[in-house]
Amino acid sequence: MLESRTTIRVRYAETDAMAIVYHGSYLPWLEVARTQLLRDYGYPYRDLEQAGYRLPVLDLSVSYRRPAVYDDDVEIHAVIRDRPGIRIKIDYEIRRGEDLLATAQTTHAFVDAKGQPTRPPADFMAAMRAYFTA
């Protein structure tokens, strides 16, 4: 399992007229958490792009439970539970302290610069075998 935690302070621009975070504002937070997760395990997204790989979102789901509001510190916990292959599934929890605000899941696929599905880099797959024994 790979996991990472990222903290973000809610900006005013991410809220609506009631100072509650707009539902679409959660998506960039997932991106921040996802790129941090890859960076934490030695695979900055920029390096993958420079090597000719992309990881577009194939599927996305978000369940909103409680609102985040302006100036909250929220923590995004990103987890890869299963060994990645051509596809990577990432689970997220967004919390304010102990309060669970939202859960989400994204699925991504490795594609080449032309958008065609491709195998992940060999060194990436070797590293994933080290983290996922099953």
Question: Known catalytic residues?
Answer: 16
For residue 119, the 8-state DSSP code is: P
Burial of 94 (0-12, 13-18, 19+ CB in 10 A): buried
Question: CA-to-CA distance for 69 and 22, rounded, in angstroms?
Answer: 9
Give the three-state DSSP class for 23: helix
